[in-house]
Amino acid sequence: MDNSNKTLFIKNLAYTLTEESLKDLIVAEFTAAQEAGTVDHMINIAADEEKNKAVFILKDRNYINREGVNVPRSKGMAFVTLENPEDLDKAIEILNGKEFEGRAIVVEKKREFTGERPAGGGFRGNRDGGFRGNRDGGNGGNWERRAPREESSEEEYA
């Protein structure tokens, strides 16, 4: 089942955040919006499924606390799956920029993962395509300019 068209991506969350406190925030903000008249119905967070949690907080498994104990800690990001895809834009409008535990949260639609790597980035060396080496001549320049290696025969290794 594809939940990407009804999933929020929330970032800039507190590291101490739990799934329950995030659910409570969403319900409280929608209740306030409903009382103010900007929303005509209550938002419903999707029911927890076995493999696809409705509220999923990304956690750092390698965080070591002050006592030297390795404990999972929130990375400050979460995915929240809504029951109704029509509520997605309204949820972004209501929740984006809200203060929660001292931080202004950022709410966006979950982006679709294409499997492709983003363009750009990475190290490509200098314009020659290789490393220049030192000023004394070094070992630089293009690989094409170097002398080809002699092919070794199997007889040399027998």
Given this model, what pLDDT does residue 6 score? Answer: 84
Give dist(CA 35, CA 25) in Å, integer.
15
Instruction: Return d(Cα 90, Cα 76) in angstroms, integer.
Output: 22
What phi-psi label fits residue 125: left (phi over 0), alpha (psi between -120 and 50 degrees) or beta?
left
Q: Is the pLDDT of residue 98 over 80?
A: yes
Q: Is the pTM of this model over 0.75?
A: no
Which of the pair, 16 or 124, is modelled with greater confidence? 16
Across 61-86, average pLDDT:
83
- Is pLDDT of 86 > 60? yes
Of the options 3.30.70.330, 3.50.50.60, 3.30.420.270, 3.60.21.10, the CATH number for the domain spanning 4-109:
3.30.70.330
pLDDT, average across residues 55-81: 83
**Strand 73-81 and strand 106-109: pairing?**
unpaired
Average pLDDT, the chain: 76
d(CA 110, CA 38) in angstroms, rounded, equals 24
Q: Which residues pair with 7 in a beta bridge?
A: 81
What is the pLDDT at residue 122?
58
